[in-house]
Amino acid sequence: MKKAQGVLLAVCLLASFTAFAADAPKAEVFGGYQYTRLSGEGIIPDVNANGWNGALTGNFNKWFGVTADFSGAYASISGVSFKTHTYTFGPTLSARGSDKFTPFVHALFGGAHGSAGAGGFSASGNAFAMLLGGGVDAKFADRMAFRVAQFDWVSLRSNGSTSNKNFRLSTGLVIHF
């Protein structure tokens, strides 16, 4: 009984998002800066990387969309260069209750490719990537917004081991279509 009440409450809350006055853009394109912290899990030093983050979101209605997110993060520690690229996809829920601010959450799943190199030697690998997070956009023009902050918890799984102590912080511009 309690499970049914919880499901009914969740459906009502999600349905209430459609009552907001602001119309959703059909698509949103985000591009900007990202800071990524990758845990070395005690084996290697943690990596603080800078780079880019881009995403395309197609909105089906005022609160539900699907996002394709791509990023690249780069760092150099003691002569060793690190590169990590992610390509993830998944649902995005937005609360469009204000003309100025749009908070959102997303669950993105896909892959990651990482590499490290020093002194002519290099190694690389692929991993399953999961990003759970969200952020807030601040609209400043008819078709433009500033992504104030997007925070994502990043989980990477490769060769039977999982790294869960990672995060990504992004900011940049959003164009609405």
CATH topology of domain 2-176: Porin (2.40.160)
Give the pair of three-digit tokens for residue 156.
Answer: 């990477």
Per-residue pLDDT of 54-113, as tens digits, reads 999 999 999 999 999 999 999 999 899 999 999 999 999 999 988 899 999 999 999 999
Contact assessment for residue 124 and residue 85, using Cβ atoms and an 8 Å cutoff: no
pLDDT of residue 7: 46
- Distance between CA atoms of 165 and 40, rounded to whole angstroms? 9
- Domain residue extents for the chain: 2-176
Per-residue pLDDT of 5-60, as tens digits, reads 554 444 444 444 444 445 799 999 999 999 999 997 767 788 999 999 999 999 99
- Distance between CA atoms of 135 and 27, rounded to whole angstroms? 17
Contact assessment for residue 75 and residue 82, using Cβ atoms and an 8 Å cutoff: yes
